[in-house]
Chain A
Amino acid sequence: MAVELKMPALSPTMEEGTLAKWLVKAGDVVKPGDVLAEIETDKATMEFEAIDDGTVTELLVPAGTEGVKVGTVIALIAGDDEEAAPAAKRSAAPAPAPVAEEAAAAPVAVEPKHVAPASLAVEPTVPEGTEMVRTTVREALRDAMAEEMRKDERVFVMGEEVAQYQGAYKVTQGLLDEFGEKRVIDTPITEYGFAGIGTGAAMGGLRPVVEFMTFNFAMQAIDHIINSAAKTNYMSGGQMRCPVVFRGPNGAASRVGAQHSQNYAPWYAAVPGLIVIAPYSAADAKGLLKAAIRCEDPVVFLENELLYGQSFDVPKLDDHVLPIGKAAIVRPGKDVTIVSYSIGVGMALDAAAKLAEEGIEAEVIDLRTLRPLDKATVLESLSRTNRMVVVEEGWPVCSISSEILAIAMEEGFDDLDAPVQRVTNIDVPLPYAANLEKAAIVNVAGVIEAVKRVCYR
Chain B
Amino acid sequence: MTSQDGDARRNLPPLALHVPEPKFRPGDAVDFADFEMPVAGAVDRPPTDSASRDMAGHVYAMVRVLDDEGRAIGPWNPGLDPDRLRRMLREMLTVRAFDERLHRAQRQGKTSFYVSSTGEEATAIGAAHALDPDDMCFPSYRQQGLLIARGWPLADMMCQVFSNSGDRMKGRQMPVMYSARAASFFTISGNLATQYPQAVGWAMASAIRGDTRIAAAWCGEGSTAEGDFHSALIFASVYRVPVVLTITNNQWAISSFSGFAGGESTTFAARALGYGIAGLRVDGNDILAVYAATAWASERARAGHGPTLIEQFTYRAEGHSTSDDPSRYRPSEERNLWPLGDPIKRLAQHLTTLGEWDDERHAALEAEVVAEVREAAREAEAQGVLGDGFRHHPMETMFEDVFEEMPKHLQEQRDQMLAEYKASGL
Chain A residues with Cβ below 8 Å from B324 are 12
Per the bound structure, the CA–CA distance linking A236 and B172 in Å amounts to: 8
Report the Cα distance A205→B204, complex, angstroms: 11
Q: Does A84 make an interface contact (CB < 8 A)?
A: no
Taking CB atoms, residues of chain A closer than 8 Å to B181 are 105-108, 236, 239-240
- Distance to closest chain A CB from B183 (angstroms): 5
Across the interface, which residues of A come within 8 angstroms of B400, CB to CB?
238
Q: Is B367 an interface residue (CB 8 A)?
A: no
**Does B310 touch A at the CB level, under 8 Å?**
no
Q: In the docked arrangement, what's the CA distance between A51 and B111, Å?
A: 12
Q: Which of B181, B204, B205, B324 has the most CB of A within 10 A?
A: B205
| B153 touching A120, Cβ below 8 Å | no
Are B153 and A224 in contact, CB atoms less than 8 angstroms apart? no
Minimum Cβ distance to chain A for residue B418 (Å)? 19
Contacts of B186 in A (CB 8 A): 107-108, 203, 240
A-B contacts counted at CB < 8 A amount to 251
Which segment, of A41-49, A127-135, A165-173, A249-257, faces chain B? Answer: A41-49
In the complex, the answer to whether A46 meets B107 with C-beta atoms within 8 Å is yes
> Across the interface, do A200 and B152 meet the contact criterion of CB distance under 8 Å?
no
Residues of B in contact (CB 8 Å), total: 83
Nearest residue in B to A232 (C-beta to C-beta)?
B187
Q: Report if A104 contacts B (CB, 8 A).
A: yes
| A89-97, A143-151, A424-432 - the one binding chain B | A89-97
Q: Is the CB of B401 within 8 A of A204?
A: no
> Assuming the A-B contacts A96-B155, A182-B208, are A196 and B136 also in contact, with contact meaning beta carbons closer than 8 angstroms in the complex?
no
- Quick check: A32 and B187 within 8 Å, CB to CB? no
Partner of A200, one of B182, B201, B323: B201
Closest-by-CB residue of B relative to A89 is B382
Chain B residues, CB < 8 A from A238: 170, 400-401
Nearest to B239 among chain A residues (CB) is A185
Interface stretch (choices B41-49, B86-94, B229-237): B229-237
A contact residues, total (Cβ < 8 Å):
83
Q: At the interface, yes or no: B203 with Cβ under 8 Å from chain A?
A: yes
Q: Is A359 an interface residue (CB 8 A)?
A: no
Interface assignment of B404: CB less than 8 Å from any CB of chain A: yes
Is the Cβ of A90 less than 8 Å from the Cβ of B177? no
Q: How would you classify the secondary structure of chain A's contact residues: helix, strand, loop or mixed?
A: loop
The reply to whether B133 and A99 contact each other, CB–CB distance below 8 Å, is yes
**Selected contact of B182 from candidates A100, A235, A295, A372, CB within 8 Å:** A100
Is residue A197 contacting chain B, with contact meaning CB distance below 8 A? yes
Q: Are A227 and B189 in contact (CB under 8 A)?
A: yes
Smallest CB separation, A100 vs chain B (Å): 6
Question: Which of A33, A46, A192 is the one whose CB lies under 8 Å from B231?
Answer: A192
> Are B404 and A193 closer than 8 Å at their CB atoms?
no
A258 to B7, CA, bound (A): 42
Is there an interface contact between A234 and B402, defined as CB atoms closer than 8 Å? yes
- CB neighbours (8 Å) of B99 from chain A are none
Indicate if B202 sits at the interface (CB-CB under 8 A): yes
Chain-B contact segment, one of A3-11, A59-67, A441-449: A3-11
**How far does the alpha carbon of A125 sit from the alpha carbon of B407 in the complex, in Å?**
22
B368 an interface residue at 8 Å Cβ cutoff?
A: no
B114 on interface, CB distance cutoff 8 Å: no
Check if B182 sits within 8 Å of A99, measured CB to CB: yes
Nearest CB in chain B: distance from A95 CB, A: 9
A197 touches B409 (CB 8 A): no
Q: Is B335 interfacial (CB-CB < 8 Å)?
A: no
- Residues on the B chain within 8 Å of A236, using CB: 169, 179, 181, 187, 401
**Cβ-defined partner of A188 (8 Å) among B153, B202, B228, B235:** B235
CB-nearest residue of chain B to A53: B382
B104 within 8 A of A: yes
Residue from B183, B200, B322, B401 in contact with A98 in the complex, judged by beta carbons closer than 8 Å: B183
Is the beta-carbon distance between A99 and B201 smaller than 8 angstroms? Answer: no
Q: Which residue of A lies closest to B196 (CB)?
A: A196
Considering the chains assembled together, what is the distance between the CA atoms of A13 and B388 in angstroms? 25
| Pairwise interchain contact A228-B385, C-beta atoms closer than 8 A | no
Interface 1/0 per residue, B192-233 and A, CB below 8 Å: 001011111111111011000101000000000001101110
Interface pair B378/A32, CB less than 8 Å apart: yes
Segment at the A interface, from B160-168, B254-262, B282-290, B299-307: B160-168
Residue of A nearest to B193 (CB): A196
Q: What are 25 A-B residue pairs whose CB atoms fall within 8 Å in the complex?
A: A12-B323, A47-B104, A52-B388, A90-B391, A96-B168, A105-B134, A156-B208, A190-B230, A192-B228, A192-B231, A193-B227, A194-B197, A196-B232, A198-B201, A200-B215, A201-B201, A201-B205, A201-B208, A203-B186, A204-B201, A204-B205, A234-B402, A237-B172, A239-B187, A240-B186
Q: Which 10 A-B pairs have the closest CB atoms?
A: A193-B231, A200-B201, A196-B197, A200-B198, A204-B205, A98-B182, A372-B407, A204-B202, A197-B201, A96-B156
Q: A11-B107, A108-B136, A223-B191 are in contact. List 19 more A-B contacts (CB 8 A).
A: A8-B108, A12-B322, A12-B323, A32-B377, A90-B165, A96-B153, A105-B133, A105-B134, A192-B227, A196-B194, A196-B232, A197-B231, A203-B186, A236-B401, A237-B170, A238-B401, A275-B403, A372-B408, A372-B410
Interface residues, chain B, CB within 8 Å of chain A? 104, 107-110, 133-134, 136, 138, 150-153, 155-156, 165-170, 172-173, 177, 179-184, 186-187, 189, 191, 194, 196-206, 208-209, 213, 215, 227-228, 230-232, 234-235, 238, 322-325, 374, 377-379, 381-385, 388, 391, 400-405, 407-410
